Amino acid sequence: MYIGTSRVTSKGQLTIPNEIRKKRGLSDGMKVIVIDTEAGVLVKKASDLKEIFAPFEEIAKKEKLNRGKLAGEIQAEKLRTLGLFRK
């Protein structure tokens, strides 16, 4: 494990220490995802998340799901679930 320090600039920018960038394969201009968690701020390569979600995207494509259809399915499931508890 490596622990380094950095400063947040007036523009909200943060420099990740070189040792961490090298170890994690982060290069100049690479897109990252910043996630606010209970434990702190998590930075992930955007490509890592694409790999994680790829199987779900394949299923969505196969099932011809889009955001509107998915929202409708979620709403229908909520109503169905609430109906189970009202009996």
Mean pLDDT per 10-residue segment, the chain (87 residues)? 92 94 94 90 87 84 86 89 75
* pLDDT (0 to 100) of residue 63: 86
Q: What is the pLDDT of residue 11?
A: 96
**Which pair of structure tokens corresponds to residue 43?**
């930075």
Q: Is residue 73 part of a domain?
A: yes
Is there a domain that residue 75 lies in? yes
Residue spans of alpha helices (H) in 6-65: 18-24, 46-62
Is residue 3, in this structure, part of any structural domain at all?
Answer: no
The strand pairing partners of 32, in sequence order, are 45
* 57 part of a folded domain: yes
Give the C-alpha separation, 24 to 48, whole Å.
11
User: Has residue 17 been placed in a domain?
Assistant: no
Domain membership of residue 78 (yes or no) is: yes
Asked whether residue 12 is assigned to any structural domain, the reply reads no
* C-beta atoms surrounding 52 within 10 Å: 10
Q: What is the pLDDT of residue 46?
A: 87
Domain that holds residue 61: 49-86
> How confident is the model at residue 28, as a pLDDT?
94
Is 60 inside any structural domain? yes
The overall pTM is greater than 0.75? no
